[in-house]
Structures are given as structure tokens and as C-alpha cells.
Amino acid sequence: MVIADNFDAREFVHPAVFQSVGWPRVRWYISDFMINYAVLLRKILNAPIQINNWHRGGRLIGRGYRPPGYRPPGGALFSQHYLSRALDVSTAYYSPREILEAIQKNADEFKAIGLTTIENPDFTPTWLHADCRPILQELMKTGENFYIVDAK
């Protein structure tokens, strides 16, 4: 169920979604942004990135699309994850702060695929949240490439 180079569709969704709709309908819950962000981030970092791993026996289930009724501990009720707009990623090779720095260094490429918003990694010590919610100019700081969310 490969949907992009080296990415499996199941990495992008909660298992309940896949179990309910199966292949190929699962692709309805995976946005272009989610795929393009994962592919670009892996290219920029030149390292494997971890999204969900439940389909390989792992415990990560909420890092991509989340179905109504699923809410991880500390997760926002109206999270962008419910809209297929967000991904949480980590990698064994870089900290979430280092991933954010790599994104900032390549901001134009990430803006081009629709990235608008990143959670401050001070609040997400083991992953980095990024999404493509609409930009609200009144919330942006001058000169900032992305809207940085300081708390949930």
C-alpha cells in the first residue's frame, strides 16, 4: 500500500480508519499536504522519519489523520489532525528542535508544499507537530516563516 516513495498509506492514518474503509478508500483521509510534507522532510533530513507504526506492531497510532472519537492524551479536541491537515513526526537522528531548525533553513520549500504552522517543540519533546491550517495574518509575528504554536 505504497502511496509515495517508501511511505505506506497506513503510516498516515489511525488504525480504526484503515480497518473501517480499507484500501484504496483510506487514501480519502490522506491529504496531499501530509504526503508532500513527509517526502520533503525525509529529503531535507536525509534520514528515515517515524509517523505511525501500528501496522508493523508499534504503538504509534495518532500521528496522522485521527477519526472522530479518538483523542490521544493531551490532544486537542479540534486538532488539525481531524481534518487531514497535520502530521507528527520524529526521527532517531534528530531532536524535534533540530527538525524545526532544518525546516526553518529550508522554509521556502516547506511553504511551497503548504506548511503554515508548527508546534513549539518545548511542548512536544518526542515529536514535532506540523500542519497546513490557513494563515491568520493577525496572529503572525513580523518576519516569521511559520505560525509557531506555543501551547495547545
Contacting residues toward Zn ion, per CB under 5 A: 86, 88, 129
| Shortest separation between residue 37's beta carbon and Zn ion, angstroms | 12
Q: Taking a C-beta distance cutoff of 8 angstroms, is the pair 133, 119 a contact?
A: no
Cβ proximity to Zn ion: between 86 and 100 the closer is: 86
State residue 127 phi and psi, 5-degree precision. Answer: -155, 165
| Shortest separation between residue 88's beta carbon and Zn ion, angstroms | 4
DSSP string, 30-49: S-HHHHHHHHHHHHHHTS--
What is the β-pairing status of strands 147-149 and 117-119?
parallel
Cβ proximity to Zn ion: between 11 and 88 the closer is: 88
Cβ proximity to Zn ion: between 3 and 118 the closer is: 118
| Shortest separation between residue 142's beta carbon and Zn ion, angstroms | 26
